[in-house]
Amino acid sequence: MFDLTDRTVLITGGCGLLGQQHAEAILEFGGEVILTDVISDTNGVTKLKEKYKKNISSVYMDVTDKSSIQHVVDSCDKIDVLINNAALDPKVEDGLEWKNKFEHLDLDSWNETIDVILNGTFLCSQVVINKMLSTGLESEYCRNGGVILNIASDLSIISPDQRIYGEGVKPASYGVAKAGVVNLTKYLSTYLAKKNIRVNSLSPAGVYNNQPDEFVSKFKNLIPMDRMARPNEYKGAIVFMCSEASSFMTGHNLVIDGGRTIW
């Protein structure tokens, strides 16, 4: 039931840390991957090709530009699964500046985050849904129909603890956009339920990626399991939510956060 053989999965933000992990999860269970991003990571794609011995597509796509999305989707024979992973997420290692404080946050910065995360999820879903509906989801091969998996965040359901960011601030726009993604997930799940397309979201907590030791120490204190997530710890959830293993699951926001939102 976890088999993804012959299923084509389009991943946005495919060159990011988790985008690469999502791709590995799909490839390990037999799926075909189309990585899309506005940046190029030929080294990462080469490593995936060498490891899995597959011809992995990697193409430019701007999730804020419908014509860019349409061009990529039109070039695909079919898309069985869409993973909306693209995001703008200010990183502590890059410095969270004073301008992120709510009283100083400018509208351009707010709009940029909303545009990539929320509008990007809307546009990609819209274009891909039309592709799915045009390629015969009711066939025996597509017995599991189409799948849209939106990558949200634990900050879609809780507020960031600003105490862990030192002098910096996590901007309001990130959590607001991710909360919108979860609500869009719920909307689409009911809207598409009779069209053989399931829609769910995954809300991960912070992933360890060589952040400063002081930040990691503070972050760990928020998590009952006393650590951040390893980059590969969401792969099982990705396979589950993209395969027939979750065939009766739609409209759900799966939170995997080491228990952070329980405290």
Give domain status of residue 145, yes or no. yes
- Report which DSSP code applies to 15: T
Q: Tens digit of pLDDT for each residue in 208-263?
A: 999 999 999 999 999 999 999 999 999 999 999 999 999 999 999 999 999 999 99
Give domain status of residue 32, yes or no. yes
CA distance 215 to 78: 43
Give domain status of residue 222, yes or no. no
CATH of the domain at 137: 3.40.50.720
Q: Tens digit of pLDDT for each residue in 227-242?
A: 999 999 999 999 999 9
Residue 181 has pLDDT above 50, yes or no: yes
Tell me the CA distances in angstroms from 8 to 76, 143, 152, 237, one per residue in order.
Answer: 9, 14, 22, 18
Q: Tens digit of pLDDT for each residue in 77-104?
A: 999 999 999 999 877 655 556 568 899 8
Q: Tens digit of pLDDT for each residue in 97-144?
A: 656 889 989 999 999 999 999 999 999 999 999 999 998 764 444 466
- Report which DSSP code applies to 228: P
Output the DSSP codes for 150-171. Answer: EE--GGGTS---GGGGTT----
Give domain status of residue 93, yes or no. no
Give the pLDDT confidence score for residue 258 in this predicted structure: 98
Give domain status of residue 256, yes or no. no
Residue 66 has pLDDT above 90, yes or no: yes
Q: Which two tokens stand for residue 221?
A: 């204190």
**200: helix, strand or coil:** strand
Give the pLDDT confidence score for residue 94 in this predicted structure: 58
Give domain status of residue 139, yes or no. yes
- Count of the separate structural domains present in the chain: 1
Average pLDDT over residues 160-187: 94
Give domain status of residue 165, yes or no. no
Average pLDDT over residues 18-29: 97
Give the pLDDT confidence score for residue 41 in this predicted structure: 82
pLDDT class of 206 with cuts at 50, 70, 90:
very high
Give domain status of residue 192, yes or no. yes
End-to-end CA separation in angstroms for the chain: 34
Domain that holds residue 18: 8-87+107-158+171-206+234-251
